[in-house]
Amino acid sequence: MPHAILRFAKRKGGPATAIEQHHERKKQRYGSNPDIDHTRTKDNYHLIAPRLKYYGEIQTRIEQAKKQNPRCKVRKDSVKFIDTIVTASPEFFDAMSPQEIRRYFEHALEFLKREAGEGNIFSAVVHMDGRNPHMHLCFVPLTEDNRLSAKEVIGSRDKLVQWQDRFHDHMATFFPPSNGESPPPSLSENTSPPGCSNRPTASAGR
């Protein structure tokens, strides 16, 4: 299903607050992101709502992991969370109702719960106020035996290809109910998610 887009950005602890401000819409204005339509911000919603500030959510999980496994090491420059974007091409969403869009993101969330560990995910929020619907999902890259390792969880190029393959396979089982026909024509998976960038330079941007 080439219209399913999954992107990861590895983050240290430092940018957590800036990223939180974007994802959780904690600022009134986003000078760096003129694409946000504030009249539609009310249409944003959480599939997983953070209970604490992002930094607190991250530290809580890391402290818990350390208790479970003394070999859980955290260095100053460790990747502490993975800032994930799920989206699809605008043409794909154009054909869908808001309820179907929600089901699409819920379906993607099931994949990420399974693959990243449900307990490691501390926020999943769908933005409907950008140019294209997208979900920001953040999780702490803890292994099953409670070590902090983005390298092991996300890995390098080879492993990323596997992530993409599994994600596409999973999303291929999603079909919007109302038009139960075949999915829309294939669209380039290199389409950058409009209205949202997950590049490190855009930490506070969108």
Interaction site with Mn ion (CB under 5 A): 127, 196
Closest by Cα among 82, 13, 84 to 53: 13
Nearest to Mn ion of 108, 142 (CB atom) = 108
Decide: 104 and 96 in contact? Cβ < 8 Å: yes
Nearest to Mn ion of 124, 196 (CB atom) = 196
| Minimum distance from residue 203 beta carbon to Mn ion (Å) | 12
Whole-angstrom Cα Rg for the chain? 17
| Minimum distance from residue 5 beta carbon to Mn ion (Å) | 13
Determine the Cα–Cα distance for residues 156 and 158; give it in Å rounded to an integer. 6
Nearest to Mn ion of 47, 196 (CB atom) = 196
Task: Give the CB-nearest residue to Mn ion.
Answer: 127
| Host H or E run for residue 111 | helix 98-116
Assigned token pair, 120: 């490691």
Assigned token pair, 93: 């969403």
Nearest to Mn ion of 7, 127 (CB atom) = 127
Nearest to Mn ion of 121, 148 (CB atom) = 121
| Minimum distance from residue 121 beta carbon to Mn ion (Å) | 17
Residue 196 falls in which region: left (phi positive, over 0), alpha (psi -120 to 50) or beta: beta
| Minimum distance from residue 196 beta carbon to Mn ion (Å) | 5
| Minimum distance from residue 113 beta carbon to Mn ion (Å) | 21
